[in-house]
Structure 1
Amino acid sequence: MYDAAVVGAGFGGLAAAADLTYRGYKVVVFEASNELGGSAGKFERSGYRFQSGATVGMGFEPGGVLDNLFERLGLEKPPMKKLDIIMDVHLPDRTIHYYRDRHEWYKEMSRVFEGPGSTFENFYDEVFKVGQLVDQLTDKLPVFPPRTMGDYAYLLTLVNENSLRLLPYMTQTVEDRLKKHGLDQHRMFRTFLNGELMDSVQTSVEKCPAFLGFAALQTFHKGAFAVHGGLAESAAKLAAYIREHDGTILMRHPVHSIEKGEAGFILHSKRRSTFQARQVILNNSVHNLHDTLTEDLSSQSYIRPRKETAKKAWGAYIIHGGVDADVFQNTDVLYHQFIDPHHPDDLHNGGQFLLSLSEPEDRLMAPEGKRSFTLSTHTDITPWWESDHYEAEKRWMKEKLIRTVEHYFGGFTDQLDVVLPGTPVTFEKWLRRKDGKVGGYAPDGKYSWLSSYSIRTGIPDLYQCGDTVFPGAGTLGVTLSGLMAAKQAAKGLK
């Protein structure tokens, strides 16, 4: 009998398991694949290492979420490079250097956006102010949205003069705040913000709750890092800690079903093996929840299958590849975003996409003289499953993205060494994301946060973490949700 079972070794699951192990509990982690890190994991082909999805390291700055976790566990962070320029944002008529440093960013906004520089500064002053307030709350690991009287009672203890300042931003969208600053008609600035919000919150300014959008926008400026060897190196350190402190990690052990037993839960894995645990934390996406639970347990959850399926969620089209390093010899920037300003409301299917490059000297990621890269864009899910022309669509998207990169970095096409495209079908096959859904749910209005999911499933002693629950996508968000779930599970183990 384990104290806690964690299903899924993504960052949320590993953070939860490491935290519970640190507290002295007996923990087992189940991972269906042979790699750690989930959507921030890795795989290797043809001498290259590729990151499955997320590539920018967040939360490693002093006092950051992952920095605090590593320090508490007594772990040394893997080697990493702090990014002065988070990314270059490429539009047909200009390139925006997205600086981490606040004052450098203010100067850059004055350079690239037409209009009084003070207007953009005032908007970002508000972004930083609100983002800091959100951080102060999430650092306390509340269950949000609250589901029980205890959740509400804990939130009440966090109410003070600062937290009350958040209320107006919980009833407005980012666009409402743009109007307040007279920036809602500034097409280029709006296009830029849409690109950043689509990347981080999966939605655009008119649909994004202001407090969520501002929290996401300010996160880039707290610290962005390129982790040597990829984010999977951080996942490996957390896994090593769990194992070294009597925790168990079972690779290639999918959990097929979970049922309620007399003393806790019974988890069924491969070859009819069973395991028992008093508490369970699911890090395998809300989309997979009802496929994992028995019918009896599923009926107890407040998450209804029909309602969950109806929620808007994106898939991803992704290309992992290798290329000659000479193609990028004129830039030190590792991350590049490409936005089509002629279709600012169409930020998926290649209208907005990211290019992530390995560091030139990182031999874990690529052979000498080569760079590994990832291209990724949001995409609608349904067409990939219904299309009679799947391979043709897959090839068309690949050519579209590569052609765009070639426009800015001449020689890219000719110097390609490895090209491995993937679609939502690929994500379901290899990462077990049902229907290929990735990145959490897309907010669709100022009050959409009210219908988001917390770590609670409605089933006592069974929690969830990951990008489909608050506080959302990205390694920073899923790590926080894992720590929130661990905190509640620990209460049940006392």
Structure 2
Amino acid sequence: MSMVYDVAIVGAGFGGLAAAAELSKYGKRVAVFEASNELGGSAGKFERGGYRFQSGATVGMGFEEGGVLDQLYESLQLEKPQMTLLNPIMDIHMPDRVIHYYREKVEWYKEIERHFKEAASSIQAFYEEVFRVGSLVDNLLDYRPVFPPKTIRDITQLFPMINPSSIKLLPYLNQTVYDRLKKFNLHKHEGFQTFLNGELMDSVQTSVENCPAFLGYAALQTFHKGAYAVHGGLATVAEQLAGYVKEQGNEVFMRYPIRLIEKKEDRFVLHSKRNSEFEAKQLVLNHSVHNLQDTLSEDLMNQSSIYPEKEEKRDTWGAFIIHAGVEESVFQNTNVLYHQFIDQNHPNDLHDGGQFLMSLSDPQDQQMAPEGKRSLTISTHTNLEQWWEAEEYEQKKQEMTDRLLATVDYYFPGFQANLDLVLPGTPVTFQKWLRRSKGKVGGYAPTGKYSWLNSYSIRSGIPGVYLCGDTVFPGAGTLGVTLSGLTAARELLR
């Protein structure tokens, strides 16, 4: 224990790596500890049978000019990885139509007219509001606010954000997306709501009825700013950030699970495998809030603002996922890499196969699959409890696998017959490999217009201990967790 780090970071997901890179840039002595043998957390990768698979069916966001990751790469003077700009962003396979979700507004409005002709003007007016309000939210996030505010300083930092533009957001802070649809007389338009529910479930983990308007609008407009397929998967970004940290003379420890953190005098002691111990003056915890009680000592946990018994009652999802390899010829008639499927028999079921996303590797990306093949990842939200019933586990896993593969085969005939490799995973898998408690992923699902007030800030309640990741404001997705990591780093640097 001769080395005392300025900051120890637990978890090499996007939040932890963003914090580590930012702190390294300013000369802090940093150590990152990752329990698995892969970087990137839920946006990482693994390799099997000649294929590289993304851990999740993840779209690359924030690389457009001025975007979160664009700014981070520029500040670190890193060259961005090769990537493909998506347009259409994805194809949405609905019960009665296939919608091409275009990035450019003009193309998207034409697609709206093709599919929702009778309500096209209202839907376009709705999207004008989405773009306007989403831009206002982006401007506020540029301040990197600590939210919800926990200290006097947090509150005073909000003052510069109060201006004529931000005041325009007030009506959207106490309404849901469904409430806003009423303004445009779209609240009874089932087809458009089915589409919106799919996009919001993918990005905010909830439906129009439960999604705070400003969060939903920020998510919807983000698709149109620039969505990318990063070559090699988003794990490439994680590898670059980790590389930067090491180039600055800092350390990234792989396969080093932190089993216990305790406080001794003015330092934190981190206990890892084979009785190894590390000391640090401050901490950034990038693992889920759900895992804190399994890591922090009883004394530290008692100081925190996190109550484990409360967490057990909060709504959160798991993920059922399939990684597979397939003959390239199955998708020869489409150049779209991301596909969302909405079950034709159960269009209102937004989980357990009712709605799911499939990402295909770019045929030009030779890191992802053998020649003539494509790797793919299928992911659907799932209720957690069912996967911890041991007697029915294998049967349920097979049934879900069959359901998802059959749905893809319906839209792409020959898909199942040309599968080369099929690897299903459940919340049990996420707990085993990504150390997510009970397989919980994606943070907390919004449950209504004021649910954003229940968010956790980067402050743990423990002096010197900061949080980041999908359970911390602004929430899930690579953009959300990166922002929380950068915010934690900024506060620590103060």
Would you say same fold, with TM above 0.5? yes
User: Does residue 31 of the first structure (1) align with residue 31 of the second (2)?
Assistant: no
Residue of structure 1 equivalent to 2:418:
415
Using the aligned pairs only, state the percent identity: 66
- How many residues are treated as equivalent by the alignment? 491
After superposition, the C-alpha distances for 1:127-152 in whole angstroms (9 at most, x for unaligned) are 11111111111111110111111111
Aligned-partner residue type, residue 390 of structure 1: Y
Residue of structure 1 equivalent to 2:477:
474
TM-score using structure 1 length: 0.98
Q: 1:235 to 1:54 in 2, by over 3 A?
A: farther
Residue of structure 2 equivalent to 1:12:
15
Residue of structure 2 equivalent to 1:434:
437
Q: 1:283 to 1:240 in 2, by over 3 A?
A: same
User: Does residue 70 of the first structure (1) align with residue 53 of the second (2)?
Assistant: no
- Where do 1:107-186 residues align within 5 Å? 107-186=110-189
SS in 2 for 1:115: helix
- Cα contact 1:39–1:54 (8 A) shared by 2: no
Q: Aligned partners of 1:188, 1:471: CA distance in 2, in Å?
A: 29
Q: Aligned partners of 2:394, 2:247: CA distance in 1, in Å?
A: 45
Aligned-partner residue type, residue 335 of structure 2: D
SS in 2 for 1:414: helix
Residue of structure 1 equivalent to 2:50:
47
Residue of structure 2 equivalent to 1:96:
99
- Cα contact 1:280–1:463 (8 A) shared by 2: yes
- Deviation of residue 54 (structure 1)? 4.6
- Cα contact 2:96–2:344 (8 A) shared by 1: no
- Cα contact 2:270–2:278 (8 A) shared by 1: yes
Residue of structure 1 equivalent to 2:59:
56
Q: Aligned partners of 1:344, 1:54: CA distance in 2, in Å?
A: 20
User: Does residue 244 of the first structure (1) align with residue 274 of the second (2)?
Assistant: no
TM-score using structure 2 length: 0.98
Residue of structure 1 equivalent to 2:88:
85
Residue of structure 2 equivalent to 1:258:
261
SS in 2 for 1:353: strand
Q: Aligned partners of 1:57, 1:6: CA distance in 2, in Å?
A: 24
Residue of structure 1 equivalent to 2:384:
381
- Cα contact 1:59–1:223 (8 A) shared by 2: yes
- Deviation of residue 271 (structure 1)? 1.0
- Deviation of residue 92 (structure 1)? 2.5
- Cα contact 1:259–1:294 (8 A) shared by 2: yes
Q: Aligned partners of 1:130, 1:272: CA distance in 2, in Å?
A: 52
Aligned-partner residue type, residue 70 of structure 2: D
Within the candidate set 208, 211, 233, 1:205 is matched to 208
Residue of structure 2 equivalent to 1:484:
487
Q: Aligned partners of 2:172, 2:436: CA distance in 1, in Å?
A: 32
Q: Aligned partners of 2:396, 2:275: CA distance in 1, in Å?
A: 40
User: Does residue 293 of the first structure (1) align with residue 296 of the second (2)?
Assistant: yes
Q: Aligned partners of 1:295, 1:153: CA distance in 2, in Å?
A: 33
User: Does residue 273 of the first structure (1) align with residue 256 of the second (2)?
Assistant: no
- Deviation of residue 407 (structure 1)? 0.3
Residue of structure 2 equivalent to 1:195:
198
- Deviation of residue 387 (structure 1)? 4.7
Residue of structure 2 equivalent to 1:343:
346
- Cα contact 2:474–2:484 (8 A) shared by 1: yes
Aligned-partner residue type, residue 61 of structure 2: M
Aligned-partner residue type, residue 263 of structure 2: K
- Cα contact 2:343–2:407 (8 A) shared by 1: no
- Cα contact 1:54–1:474 (8 A) shared by 2: no
Residue of structure 2 equivalent to 1:326:
329
RMSD value over aligned CA atoms? 0.9
- Deviation of residue 389 (structure 1)? 1.0
- Cα contact 1:188–1:341 (8 A) shared by 2: no
Aligned-partner residue type, residue 367 of structure 1: P
Q: Aligned partners of 1:121, 1:157: CA distance in 2, in Å?
A: 33
Aligned-partner residue type, residue 478 of structure 2: T
Q: Specify every segment of 5 or more residues in structure 1 that has no aligned partner in the other structure, as ranges.
A: none
Q: 1:8 to 1:69 in 2, by over 3 A?
A: same
Aligned-partner residue type, residue 78 of structure 1: P
Q: Aligned partners of 2:75, 2:82: CA distance in 1, in Å?
A: 18
- Cα contact 2:57–2:358 (8 A) shared by 1: no
Within the candidate set 313, 324, 335, 2:316 is matched to 313
- Deviation of residue 84 (structure 1)? 1.2
Q: Aligned partners of 2:348, 2:167: CA distance in 1, in Å?
A: 33
- Cα contact 2:387–2:426 (8 A) shared by 1: yes
User: Does residue 105 of the first structure (1) align with residue 108 of the second (2)?
Assistant: yes
Aligned-partner residue type, residue 325 of structure 2: G
- Cα contact 1:287–1:308 (8 A) shared by 2: yes
- Deviation of residue 116 (structure 1)? 3.5
- Cα contact 2:95–2:347 (8 A) shared by 1: no
After superposition, the C-alpha distances for 1:36-55 in whole angstroms (9 at most, x for unaligned) are 11111110000000011152
> Is 463-472 or 413-422 further displaced after alignment?
463-472
- Deviation of residue 340 (structure 1)? 2.5
Q: Specify every segment of 5 or more residues in structure 2 that has no aligned partner in the other structure, as ranges.
A: none
Q: Aligned partners of 1:190, 1:201: CA distance in 2, in Å?
A: 15
Q: Aligned partners of 2:431, 2:94: CA distance in 1, in Å?
A: 32
- Deviation of residue 452 (structure 1)? 1.2
Residue of structure 1 equivalent to 2:222:
219
Q: Aligned partners of 1:346, 1:457: CA distance in 2, in Å?
A: 35
Residue of structure 1 equivalent to 2:286:
283
Residue of structure 1 equivalent to 2:466:
463
Q: Aligned partners of 1:468, 1:264: CA distance in 2, in Å?
A: 26
- Deviation of residue 278 (structure 1)? 1.1
Aligned-partner residue type, residue 352 of structure 1: Q
SS in 1 for 2:469: coil
SS in 2 for 1:310: coil
Aligned-partner residue type, residue 240 of structure 1: G
- Deviation of residue 345 (structure 1)? 3.4
- Cα contact 1:194–1:344 (8 A) shared by 2: no
Q: Aligned partners of 1:108, 1:146: CA distance in 2, in Å?
A: 42
Q: Aligned partners of 1:177, 1:61: CA distance in 2, in Å?
A: 28
SS in 2 for 1:239: helix
Aligned-partner residue type, residue 338 of structure 2: Y
Q: Aligned partners of 2:25, 2:179: CA distance in 1, in Å?
A: 44
SS in 2 for 1:366: coil
